[in-house]
Amino acid sequence: MSNYYDLDDILCENTKLPCIFQHTVPGLGYLEGNHDTDVSEGSSIDLPFWLAEMLAISNFVDIEFPNALSLRVRNALKACPQNVDLRTFSTHYYLFAEKILSLISDNELVDILMETFKSRICLIADHAHNPHSGSIEGIEFLRNLDDTECMFFRIGHDSAKSMRNWLEKSKIH
């Protein structure tokens, strides 16, 4: 956990990942939801990131890419990143991807995520500076943003609002 007191980090690290055990591990059978006392080699179990990370570093498990970073999602992000609802995969999509990429090296995924963010941030800035973003299209757009993108939207919206207020005040004087 990079920041012990960061609630977003805590929530992100509770996201489950598919993991395959490389060894038989005694006493962890309850993770599979059965009454066995051991987890056998080759078992596939969804584990929270914080546990999967520790077990992967200790070479007890191999982490597989979750659905949020699957080939289907990557292709959708390459085709039209603005239309992908990142929030359905994770409210902390970029943070989650960053954490996974700290364990699994995938340069193509890094490039896809960077291009996705650059493409979406322009649209976010446009919506943030548009005073009529309360339209149905604007509301639907906001529902698809992950928390990082929502933060940038709020910053952009607040700065545009402050700028408009400042300009209005300067007209009066």
Taking only the tens place, the pLDDT of each residue in 46-58 is 999 999 999 999 9
Does 149 lie in the same domain as 96? yes
Does 115 lie in the same domain as 167? yes
**Residue 107 to residue 114: CA distance in whole angstroms:** 11
pTM: 0.83
Q: How, if at all, do strands 16-21 and 44-48 pair?
A: antiparallel
Does 89 lie in the same domain as 159? yes
Does 162 lie in the same domain as 77? yes
Instruction: Identify the domain boundary among 40, 63, 86.
Output: 63
**Residue 56 to residue 20: CA distance in whole angstroms:** 10
Does 73 lie in the same domain as 54? no
Does 126 lie in the same domain as 49? no
Q: What is the CATH number of the domain that holds 131?
A: 1.20.58.2050
As averages over each run of 10 residues, the pLDDT of the chain (173 residues) reads 78 92 83 74 92 93 93 95 92 94 93 96 89 69 90 93 89 69
Q: Is residue 1 part of a domain?
A: no
Q: Is residue 46 part of a domain?
A: yes
Question: In this structure, how many other beta carbons lie within 10 angstroms of the beta carbon of residue 17?
Answer: 24
Does 166 lie in the same domain as 87? yes
Q: What is the pLDDT of residue 162?
A: 92
Does 32 lie in the same domain as 81? no
Q: Is residue 41 part of a domain?
A: yes
Q: What is the pLDDT of residue 81?
A: 93
Q: Is residue 12 part of a domain?
A: yes
**Residue 99 to residue 74: CA distance in whole angstroms:** 17
Among 164, 25, 10, 158, residue whose Cα is nearest residue 91:
10
Compute the CA torsion angle 155, 157, 160, 164 (nearest 10 deg).
-130
Contact at 8 Å (CB) between 14 and 30?
no
**Residue 83 to residue 93: CA distance in whole angstroms:** 15
**CA 89 to mean position of chain CA atoms:** 7
Q: Is residue 2 part of a domain?
A: no
Does 133 lie in the same domain as 79? yes
Q: For residue 15, count CB atoms less than 10 angstroms from its CB and return exposed for 0-12, middle for 13-18, buried for 19 or more.
A: buried
- The residue segments making up the domain with residue 35 are 7-63
Compute the CA torsion angle 146, 93, 9, 109 (nearest 10 deg).
-140
